[in-house]
Structure 1
Amino acid sequence: MKIWKKISSIAVVTTLAVGLAACSSDGGGESKSDYPKNNIVVVAPSGAGGGWDLTARAIAKTMGDTGLVEKSIQVENKPGGGGAVYMAEFATKEVKNDHVLMVKSPPILINNNKAEGNSPYGFKDTKPLAQLTRDYGAIVVKADSPFNKMEDFLNALKADPTAVTLAGGSAPGSMDHLVGILPAFKAGIDPKSVKYVSYDGGGEAVAALLGGNADVIATDASTISMYVKSGDVRVLAVSSTERLEGDLADVPTFKEAGTDAEFTIWRGIFGPKEMSDDASNYWNEKIEEMVETDEWKAELEKNGWASEYRNSKDFTTYLEDQDKVIVELLTALGMQK
């Protein structure tokens, strides 16, 4: 019996040794201990200055400043189609690239579900890693605009919808477009009659407004704060359930402005669909640590974002639920597939 126990102990030790050796080898894939091997790229699928761009840069800065990630993190802007152009590349060309991440928000759902100009790729063609923030939409005009309140904007659309140019930083039928036409839809105005011009990112949409190429824009509430502070724009309403803080504290909600609706803009980070378990586990751990740092909280405050963290599992479930909501909204607007 003693001899058998000794042989069994030797067998267990040998098995553990072999297992550890296998884990430390490359074995056709990266182990947790050697990931990341290369520098990281975080893609904002839009131009500079919008919510995706600012989020990507906040992640890169926080990870670098805190030393949570030792490898360099580079942010790349890849605009086109309100995020749909790069989405196709991310879902195909980068499908196994553990070192490329992407920042996204509701357009990953909208572009995949809308009828015209839709993307064949959606969140199910990625590996959701984490939700990070929530934001809201804002209806914005120049400081000298004749539209002093939401009612003025809607009355102008009722009189002649083609005489008012609405713009946003996403493709037709996408997030900014939905935020912009939601008050019109609720007011009984045919959403299809509203003239909408799309730009690649909120920064370009703001430039169009300030340059006189748009009468009204729909954009992220957080990214417009700096222009409110500078006195360049006026916000007619925000899509939150309650009034926001800071520079937008005096701005009415949609409901207060007469539109019984709300629209939440979440932002999250995604890996490619076939991201390795080692890479996925690495980012789940690092992101969970990041959102608790003072550096990340400072980025939230600076950009006017509300923190709303969900890990990979919870974020995936949330996306499944949100996908149903988006389909319902697009169906109501006659824009679904």
Structure 2
Amino acid sequence: MTLNRMTGAALLAATLALPTLASAEVTSPECIAPAQPGGGFDVTCRVAQTGLADAFGGPMQVTFMPGGIGAVAYNLFNTTRTDDPNAIVAFSTGSLLNIATGKYGDFDENDVRWLGTAGADFGAVIVKADSEYTSLEQLMTDLGNDPSSIVVGAGGSVGSQDWMKAALLVRETGASPMDMRYVAFDGGGDAIAALLGGSIEVYTGDVGEMASHMEAGDMRVLAVMSDERLDGAFAEIPTAKEQGFDVEWTIMRGFYMGKGVSDADYNTWVDAFKAAYATPEFEQVQADKGLLPLNLAGDELKARVDENMATLREIATEAGLIQQ
């Protein structure tokens, strides 16, 4: 009798749980990359598109929404798409830096729901394959002698994370970052095109963006800004540190949703990411895209974002990007 009552209670609990799942309205999953195709946000969305391919019973669409290095998308999801259950938006540590320095307007990190991560990426120093620079040391020597003699470009304006990578390199030489010639592009894809076209000489991008370009052989990665050498396709690329330059930049890549998304829909996505993290297939997707495992979803990601925001505000204040 007791067993029957327990079984009945379990069945009742399961029945009561069904409406929560049924209320989830994720029917047309979409990942928004807030830049032009080809950059880091594109990579981030492709991880979700492949890694969560079976999560919602249909393919995930990738949409590009360039503008303000993520500002257009951030504002959209704080105004007209605050409760869209189908859409997730790619972000990176650079996005958090833009929030910290006020480049996304009046909205801050508490105005969206931080969802899950795609993995960790690292800054990289990239030149054309036929560049005169075959080592980071050669480049750093010229930057130290005259920062304005080399045209550096990346997918972000002054104060962005890509600018910060270049600034850290110049500062490491003893020169002033304010003296370098820096060209800003609206995303990594545009910057790569400019590098290949000869408009810039050095691209301070992300190593993850290079995964699809490694076999083409049209670019050379002089250094990766990680603490240690990476595995797989990037194992032969030396770090800046091992070449004698104490420069490191780690990029967290992930996704957010509008603040008005219901708990049921938000948790449907969180559960989908957590389930994907537990599979070797997702780890393989990360590796294929040049990312290292960094698997955080829901409250864990929110805590990490809060921690990073405090650090970025401190660094940005020291660099004069935030006025006291």
* Pick aligned residue for 1:86 from 73, 76, 89: 73
Structure 1 residues without counterparts, runs of 5 or longer: 1-12, 25-30
Q: Tell me, in whole angstroms, the C-alpha distance in 2 between the residues paired with 1:56 and 1:282.
A: 18
Q: Which residue of 1 aligns with 2:313?
A: 327
Structure 2 residues without counterparts, runs of 5 or longer: 1-8
* Pick aligned residue for 1:261 from 247, 254, 265: 247
8 Å Cα contact 1:111-1:122 kept in structure 2: no
8 Å Cα contact 1:103-1:267 kept in structure 2: yes
Residue 68 of structure 1: SS of its match in structure 2?
coil
Q: Which residue of 1 aligns with 2:140?
A: 154
Q: Show the 5 A alignment for 1:219-230.
A: 219-230=205-216
Q: Which amino acid aligns with 1:235?
A: V
Q: Show the 5 A alignment for 1:188-207.
A: 188-207=174-193
Q: Which residue of 2 aligns with 1:44?
A: 33
Q: Which residue of 2 aligns with 1:138?
A: 124
Q: Tell me, in whole angstroms, the C-alpha distance in 2 between the residues paired with 1:302 and 1:129.
A: 22
Cα deviation digits, residues 244-281 of structure 1 (max 9, x gap): 12333232212122222311111111111121111111
Q: Which residue of 2 aligns with 1:76?
A: 63
Q: Which amino acid aligns with 2:23?
A: D
Q: Tell me, in whole angstroms, the C-alpha distance in 1 between the residues paired with 2:281 and 2:170.
A: 40
Between the two proteins, what is the percent identity of the paired residues?
31
1:32 aligns with 2:18: no
1:120 Cα deviation after fit: 3.1
Q: Tell me, in whole angstroms, the C-alpha distance in 2 between the residues paired with 1:254 and 1:93.
A: 43
8 Å Cα contact 1:162-1:193 kept in structure 2: yes
1:125 aligns with 2:114: no
* Pick aligned residue for 2:217 from 224, 231, 248: 231
Q: Tell me, in whole angstroms, the C-alpha distance in 2 between the residues paired with 1:122 and 1:33.
A: 32
Q: Tell me, in whole angstroms, the C-alpha distance in 2 between the residues paired with 1:114 and 1:94.
A: 24
1:126 Cα deviation after fit: 0.8
Which of the pair has more CA radius of gyration? 1
Q: Which amino acid aligns with 1:59?
A: A
With the length of structure 1 as denominator, give the TM-score of the two structures.
0.85
Q: Which residue of 1 aligns with 2:101?
A: 114
8 Å Cα contact 1:143-1:234 kept in structure 2: yes
Q: Which residue of 2 aligns with 1:3?
A: none
Q: Show the 5 A alignment for 1:158-197.
A: 158-197=144-183
1:201 Cα deviation after fit: 2.2
Q: Which residue of 1 aligns with 2:89?
A: 102
Q: Tell me, in whole angstroms, the C-alpha distance in 1 between the residues paired with 2:298 and 2:192.
A: 33
Q: Tell me, in whole angstroms, the C-alpha distance in 2 between the residues paired with 1:58 and 1:222.
A: 11
Q: Tell me, in whole angstroms, the C-alpha distance in 2 between the residues paired with 1:329 and 1:257.
A: 24
Q: Tell me, in whole angstroms, the C-alpha distance in 2 between the residues paired with 1:153 and 1:85.
A: 35
Q: Which residue of 2 aligns with 1:28?
A: none
Residue 211 of structure 2: SS of its match in structure 1?
helix
Distance 1:75 1:201, change over 3 A: same
1:61 aligns with 2:50: yes
1:138 Cα deviation after fit: 0.2
Q: Which residue of 2 aligns with 1:7?
A: none
1:315 Cα deviation after fit: 0.9
Q: Which amino acid aligns with 2:265?
A: A
Deviating more after overlay: 171-180 vs 204-213 = 171-180
Residue 76 of structure 1: SS of its match in structure 2?
strand
Q: Tell me, in whole angstroms, the C-alpha distance in 2 between the residues paired with 1:128 and 1:139.
A: 29
Consecutive aligned runs of 4 or more in structure 1 exceeding 4 Å deviation: none
1:270 aligns with 2:264: no
Q: Tell me, in whole angstroms, the C-alpha distance in 1 between the residues paired with 2:44 and 2:99.
A: 22
Deviating more after overlay: 206-215 vs 123-132 = 123-132
Residue 251 of structure 2: SS of its match in structure 1?
strand
Residue 136 of structure 1: SS of its match in structure 2?
strand
8 Å Cα contact 2:167-2:177 kept in structure 1: yes
Deviating more after overlay: 169-178 vs 118-127 = 118-127
Q: Which residue of 2 aligns with 1:4?
A: none
Residue 270 of structure 1: SS of its match in structure 2?
strand
8 Å Cα contact 2:135-2:222 kept in structure 1: yes
Q: Tell me, in whole angstroms, the C-alpha distance in 2 between the residues paired with 1:121 and 1:258.
A: 40
Q: Which amino acid aligns with 1:85?
A: V
Residue 53 of structure 1: SS of its match in structure 2?
helix
Deviating more after overlay: 128-137 vs 168-177 = 168-177
Corresponding residue pairs, total: 313
